[in-house]
Amino acid sequence: MVELGSPKSLVGVRFSPALPTTEYRIRETGQGSMKATSFIQECKAELEKVHWPTRQEVVSSTVVVLVTVFIFSLFLSASDFVFLKLLKWFWALGT
């Protein structure tokens, strides 16, 4: 019999280092929770580091996405039409 906690009890069990543990890390300040004001200040400091796109960058990215969606929708529509015709042709062979 294998004791609970022995290394043999973990045979076949996979662990993922990316999964969070049940222990929560306490901030370097030693406090278990942050105050709302310090949280807002830290959020503001992080948002100042963000590179916000210009209007021209947003417009050009939007155009690229819309064109790509249009092209893929045409491709999928054409593929659907062709496969439907092939399927009807196969059905006609059976009758």
User: CA distances (Å), 87 to each of 8, 75, 76, in order?
Assistant: 56, 18, 16
Torsion of CA 70, 76, 78, 83, to 10 degrees: -170
- How many domains, the chain? 1
- Contacts of 40-45 with CB under 8 Å at 24 or more apart are none
In three-state secondary structure terms, 6 is coil
Tens of pLDDT, residues 6-45? 656 556 656 555 555 544 454 555 554 568 889 999 999 9
Domain span holding position 69: 55-94
Residue 45 falls inside a structural domain:
no
User: Which pLDDT score is estimated for 24?
Assistant: 47
Residue 88 falls inside a structural domain:
yes
Residue 85 falls inside a structural domain:
yes
pLDDT-wise least confident of 5-14, 35-44, 53-62, 66-75: 5-14
Residue 75 falls inside a structural domain:
yes
Residue 83 falls inside a structural domain:
yes
User: Which pLDDT score is estimated for 94?
Assistant: 81
Q: Are 81 and 88 in contact (CB under 8 A)?
A: no
